[in-house]
């Protein structure tokens, strides 16, 4: 490691997890995650090369604030004299005002606070991380990196709803999310599959949150997520695509409040609601309960349907990339998604898929199919170092 390289802390706060990494230039010398927030939270972290992982269980009632406190306690225990040159954050929603990473000040924080209703499962936790860092590292510059930014140059027809145009001007439009993941994958494809990033690619980010992105010449031209992170594919606890008439029915016939409907759609639906068992794909795949199989079948059906839609947006596809926790690790889901997709030019290599190789399409397949780990934290570190003029995660 070069001594002149900057040291950057990255926080990636999700709906039920927090990932944290410290980068010194290109190198990661600490990485950790806290998962299961809201159910059975635990922290897993690794400090330094060659050291084993440390695992600690947190109190069952630990919220995001308590999880961040546990993460900082661990950081200072490992590196009591740690120097931090900058902190980068994943912020889910940038609205219409923020299409690039931005240095955080009180005005920016206020703007992002007003966007919380558009991403209630994520935005408040993203901002809690920013406030926690202000207390812990009060003099260190912080940078917000937005999941919506990668999608900001969509064609108008992709972003608008068929509502009176005044709503679009007010910000009621499709934004798209998971942009940091998609941005990283586009850059990674330039290294590992340089024949496809300038063509037509569908990236499937499949995890507790899930979406597809249609990418043409390295730019997003379509996304399954829309105004909020509820739209599109079913997710761990989120419903995905839903006829808005269902919401009207819940309000009018069931007399449900906005808070109750929000909890239903964000926390009680998706794989968890369909199966009645779990939001965790690993548990569903291991279960013999027919409800688990039906939840998986619906998840796969929606992915296949949206792949067809994204292919139409692109006018055909040259590459299909699986990423995210499920996309990277579940050979079973990838096989189900790609089954009998020869009509689209997708030919799977079953052995390569089962072995979790990077390329999982067979020789001669018109569409190159890949399973590529994403790294949102590295993308955030790059943006943070660049904006702050620090050396060198590139």
CA distance linking residue 259 with residue 73, whole number of Å: 34
Specify the range with the lowest mean pLDDT, choosing from 24-33, 157-166, 335-344, 363-372. 24-33
Specify the range with the lowest mean pLDDT, choosing from 72-81, 132-141, 277-286. 72-81
Residue 174 lies in a domain: no
> 217 and 125, same structural domain?
no
Confidence of residue 36 (pLDDT cuts 50, 70, 90): confident
> 198 and 98, same structural domain?
no
Residue 28 lies in a domain: yes
Specify the range with the lowest mean pLDDT, choosing from 134-138, 157-161, 175-179. 134-138
Q: What is the pLDDT of residue 46?
A: 86
> 283 and 202, same structural domain?
yes
Residue 18 lies in a domain: yes
CA distance linking residue 293 with residue 97, whole number of Å: 42
Round the average pLDDT of the chain to a whole number and report it. Answer: 93
Residue 181 lies in a domain: no
Confidence of residue 337 (pLDDT cuts 50, 70, 90): very high
> 136 and 216, same structural domain?
no
Pull the structure tokens for residue 25. 């230039």
Residue 166 lies in a domain: no
Pull the structure tokens for residue 10. 């990255």
CA distance linking residue 17 with residue 14, whole number of Å: 5
Residue 394 has pLDDT above 70, yes or no: no
> 252 and 358, same structural domain?
yes
Residue 390 lies in a domain: no
For residue 84, give the CATH number of its domain: 3.30.420.40
> 361 and 294, same structural domain?
yes
Residue 72 has pLDDT above 90, yes or no: no
> 142 and 198, same structural domain?
no
Q: What is the pLDDT of residue 83?
A: 87
Torsion of CA 178, 278, 256, 249, to 10 degrees: 80
Helices 376-388 and 179-192 cross at an angle (nearest 10°) of: 90
Q: Which of helix, strand or coil describes residue 353?
A: helix
- DSSP secondary structure letters along 34-98: EE-TTTS-EEEEEESTTPPPEEEEPPTT--HHHHHHHHHHHHHHH-TT---SEEEEEES--TTT-
Range of the domain at 350: 194-371
CA torsion sign, 60 to 63 to 69 to 75? positive
CA distance linking residue 197 with residue 221, whole number of Å: 14
Residue 125 lies in a domain: yes
- Kindly give the residue spans of alpha helices, DSSP state H, lying in the chain: 64-78, 106-113, 123-136, 156-159, 165-170, 179-192, 244-252, 258-267, 270-275, 281-286, 290-314, 324-329, 331-338, 350-354, 376-388
Work out the angle at residue 24's Cα, subtended by the Cα atoms of residues 22 and 28, and round it to the nearest 5 degrees: 55
Pull the structure tokens for residue 353. 């898929």
> 299 and 241, same structural domain?
yes
Query: Which residues form the catalytic set?
Result: 147
Q: Which of helix, strand or coil describes residue 12?
A: strand
> 206 and 64, same structural domain?
no
Q: Calculate mean pLDDT across residues 69-76.
A: 86
> 210 and 90, same structural domain?
no
Residue 39 lies in a domain: yes
> 367 and 230, same structural domain?
yes
- The whole-model pTM stands at 0.93
Render pLDDT for 85-96 as a digit per residue (tens, 0 to 9): 999 999 999 999
> 313 and 236, same structural domain?
yes
Look at residues 20, 1, 18, 2 and name the one whose alpha carbon lies nearest to residue 10.
20
Total domains in the chain come to 2
């Amino acid at each position: 490691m070069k001594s002149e390289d900057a040291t950057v802390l990255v926080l990636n706060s999700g709906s039920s997890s927090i990932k944290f990494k410290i980068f010194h230039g290109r190198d990661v010398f600490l990485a950790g995650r806290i998962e299961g927030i809201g159910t059975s939270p635990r922290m897993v972290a690794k400090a330094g090369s060659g050291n084993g992982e440390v695992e600690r269980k947190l109190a069952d009632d630990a919220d995001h604030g308590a999880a961040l406190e546990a993460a900082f306690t661990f950081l200072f225990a490992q590196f009591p004299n740690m120097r931090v040159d900058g902190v980068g954050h994943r912020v889910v929603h940038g609205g219409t005002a923020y299409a690039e990473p931005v240095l955080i000040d009180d005005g920016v924080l206020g703007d992002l606070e007003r966007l919380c209703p558009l991403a209630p499962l994520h935005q408040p936790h993203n901002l809690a991380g920013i406030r926690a860092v202000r207390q812990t590292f009060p003099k260190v510059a912080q940078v917000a990196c937005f999941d919506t930014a990668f999608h900001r140059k969509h064609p108008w027809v992709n972003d608008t709803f068929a509502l009176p145009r005044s709503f679009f001007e007010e910000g009621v439009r499709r934004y798209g999310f998971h942009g940091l993941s998609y941005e990283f994958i586009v850059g990674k494809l330039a290294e590992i599959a340089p024949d496809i990033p300038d063509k037509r690619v569908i990236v499937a980010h499949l995890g507790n949150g899930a979406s597809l992105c249609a990418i043409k010449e390295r730019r997003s031209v379509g996304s399954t997520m829309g105004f909020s992170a509820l739209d599109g594919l079913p997710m761990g606890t989120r419903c995905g695509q839903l006829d808005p008439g269902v919401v009207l029915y819940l309000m009018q016939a069931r007399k449900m409040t906005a808070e109750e409907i929000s909890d239903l759609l964000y926390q009680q639906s998706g794989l968890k609601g369909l199966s009645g068992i779990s939001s965790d794909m690993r548990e569903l795949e291991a279960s013999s309960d027919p409800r688990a199989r039906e939840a998986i079948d619906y998840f796969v059906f929606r992915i296949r349907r949206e792949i067809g839609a994204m292919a139409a947006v692109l006018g055909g596809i040259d590459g299909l990339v699986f990423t995210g926790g499920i996309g990277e690790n579940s050979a079973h889901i990838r096989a189900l998604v790609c089954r009998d997709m020869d009509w689209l030019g997708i030919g799977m290599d079953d052995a390569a898929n089962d072995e979790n190789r990077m390329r999982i399409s067979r020789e001669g397949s018109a569409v190159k199919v890949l399973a590529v780990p994403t790294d949102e934290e590295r993308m955030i570190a790059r943006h943070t170092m660049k904006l702050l003029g620090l050396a060198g995660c590139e």
